[in-house]
Structure 1
Amino acid sequence: MSQLPIPDGVHFFAHLPLAWHATLQQSTFEATRYLAVLAEFEASSDERNHAQEALHAKLDLMLLWTAKHLSQDLPPAKDAVIALETISWLDATALPMGAHGALTLSLSRIFPFSLQLPAEIISCAVSGQGYAITARLQLKEEALRDWFERTVFRNHRRIVHSERGAAA
């Protein structure tokens, strides 16, 4: 992943399904709700009582089955750096600077879903056998931006904690 630009601030590295599309085909509401449900799905169940936990287990299983069914259409996995305002990835195909469209990505192996985020290509440089591409996210709606930032912070924290645990 050293071929990708490292942004300042909170970010994380991932190998995840990711593709560029010329048009956004997902509503902001759907993207926002997925990020909110993903946060709940990944949350600790310490604060739930037994009845709530049983209900959540049923809902989680239903969501997993639905996501598994829909995940057959996920794009191929690519190395990426996910930051609060940008996403960089390695690709075999160049993209034109200034192109507007949508990044399709899946942020969870356990709860896969093709999340689409509006973006603009701000960098495309030759890197090894392909291109290092950076897109600036265009998250204009506050709720979507908030849930995406929470997702980036959560993943960043998880990686920092695992690195600290490995160093100890």
Structure 2
Amino acid sequence: MNQLPVPDGVHFSAHLPLVWHGVWQQSAFEATRYLAVLAEFESTSDERSHAQDALHAKLDLMLLWTAKNASHNLPAAKEVVIGLETISWRDVAALPVGAHGALAISLSQVLPFSLQLPAEIVACVGADQAYTVTARLLLKEEALRDWFERTVFRNHRHIVHAERGAQT
């Protein structure tokens, strides 16, 4: 099977729930807040006091329960390559180049959420009874773009560290 296109620069590959929607239905504020919470949720901080740790533990548990209840609505997982400006995946259906809509994607198995990112289909190539689709992200809101880029950098960094650890 053909490899997914890999963008120049910072990116990561993963197996994540993803589906294309013809209409962007999520506010940029909600998407931005989720990315900020995901970053905090995945971080470890030695600077917290015991009281802050206890509060964060309660908030984390509430977030996990909320995410668990919402995770039954997630789309099927697919192999994806996520860059700073594009997302590529393999799908059984062709999508028209130039179509505008949203990618619904869940970036975390631990804290699942169907994040919607506005995008435009820029490539759709058929091969091996499937299509390789590439969408260019249309993140016009600065805060959303900033938190998305932080997410890509964080995931890229985790993969690089894991690969270095495996080589030693």
TM-score, L = length of structure 1: 0.98
**In the alignment, which residue of structure 2 is the partner of 1:117?**
117
What is the letter of the counterpart of residue 13 of structure 1? Answer: S
1:47 Cα deviation (Å)? 1.6
Q: How has the CA–CA distance of structure 1 residues 117 and 159 changed in structure 2, closer, same or farther, with 3 Å as cutoff? A: same
1:31 is aligned to 31
What is the Cα deviation at residue 126 of structure 1? 1.1
Q: Distance in 1 between matches of 2:3 and 2:128?
A: 8
Aligned to 1:33, what secondary structure does the other structure show?
helix
Per the alignment, residue 105 of structure 1 pairs with: 105
Q: Which stretches of structure 1, 4 residues or longer, exceed 2 Å deviation after superposition?
A: none
Aligned to 2:44: 44
Q: In structure 2, what is the Cα distance between the partners aligned to 1:110 and 1:156?
A: 18
**Residues 36-87 of structure 1: CA deviation (Å, up to 9, x unaligned):** 0000000113121111000000000000000110111000000000000000
Structure 2 residue aligned with 1:128 = 128
- What is the RMSD computed on CA atoms of the aligned residues? 0.9
Structure 1 gap segments, 5+ residues each: none
Distance change >3 Å, CA 2–CA 46, structure 1 → 2: farther
Partners of 1:27 and 1:148 lie apart in 2 by: 14
Match of 2:142 in 1: 142
CA distance in 2, matches of 1:3, 1:158: 22
Q: Counterpart of 2:88? A: 88
Q: In structure 1, what is the Cα distance between the partners aligned to 2:45 and 2:111?
A: 17
Contact 1:3 1:127 in 2 (8 A): no
User: How far 1:2 sits from its partner (Å)?
Assistant: 5.2
Deviations 1:99-154 (A, max 9, x none): 00000000000000000000000000013220000000000000000000000000
Q: State whether residues 106 and 114 of structure 1, in contact with CA within 8 Å, keep that contact through their aligned partners in structure 2.
A: yes
Identity in percent: 74
1:7 lines up with 2:7 in the alignment: yes
